[in-house]
C-alpha cells in the first residue's frame, strides 16, 4: 500500500478578511484528510479539529492550544468503519459534551478485486441492504 501523508493548513484571520498561515501550519497527519469539523472537544475554550482520514477509516482528534497549533488527543484516533467523508458536531445526547456524526462511503470490490467507491446507484439498480 502506498504511503500517504496529508496536511491541514491553518489560516488565521486578521478581522479584515485577510488570512495568513499559523506559525506551525501546516499540521501534518498520516493518511488522507478528507473531512474536517471544528468544536471544543476537551472543554478548554479553544477550537479543536476532528479530521476524517479516508485512508485509515478513522477520525483523528487534534486539540488546539488557542494559537493555531494542534496536537493529537491522547485517545485519538477514533474508528469509524469505512471511509469518513463528512463530519458534523453537536450535542446529540444532551449530556453537554460534543458528539460527532460521520457519513461514510461504502467500498465495493470490482471483478479484478480492486476497491471502488460507490457514490450513488443508478435508477434501475436495487437498493443494497446491510
pLDDT tens digits, one per residue of 62-93: 899 988 888 888 887 777 767 777 888 988 88
The pLDDT tens digits of the residues spanning 99-125 come to 888 887 665 555 555 554 444 444 555
The CA distance from 130 to 116, in Å, is 18
Q: Which three cell numbers stand for residue 113?
A: 478485486
> Of the candidates 101, 3, 119, 1, which has an alpha carbon nearest to the alpha carbon of residue 52?
101
Question: Does 120 sit behind a cis peptide bond, omega within 30 degrees of 0 on the bond before it?
Answer: no
Say what the pLDDT of residue 40 is: 93
Residue with more model confidence, 4 or 10:
10
The helix or strand, by DSSP H or E, that contains position 107, with its residue range, turns out to be strand 107-109
Residue 100: CB atoms within 10 Å: 19
Q: Over pLDDT 70: what percentage of the chain?
A: 73
Q: What is the average pLDDT across 30-39?
A: 80
Is the Cβ–Cβ distance between 10 and 1 less than 8 Å?
no
Amino acid at each position: 500500500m502506498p504511503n500517504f501523508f496529508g496536511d491541514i493548513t491553518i489560516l488565521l484571520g486578521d478581522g479584515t478578511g485577510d488570512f495568513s498561515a499559523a506559525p506551525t501550519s501546516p499540521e501534518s497527519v498520516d493518511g488522507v484528510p478528507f473531512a474536517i469539523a471544528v468544536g471544543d472537544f476537551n472543554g478548554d475554550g479553544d477550537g479543536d479539529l476532528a479530521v476524517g482520514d479516508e485512508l485509515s477509516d478513522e477520525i483523528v482528534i487534534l486539540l488546539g492550544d488557542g494559537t493555531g497549533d494542534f496536537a493529537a488527543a491522547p485517545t485519538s484516533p477514533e474508528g469509524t468503519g469505512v471511509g469518513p467523508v463528512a463530519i458534523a458536531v453537536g450535542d446529540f445526547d444532551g449530556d453537554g459534551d460534543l458528539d460527532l456524526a460521520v457519513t461514510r462511503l461504502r467500498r465495493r470490490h470490482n471483478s479484478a478485486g480492486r476497491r471502488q467507491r460507490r457514490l450513488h446507484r443508478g435508477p434501475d439498480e436495487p437498493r443494497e441492504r446491510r
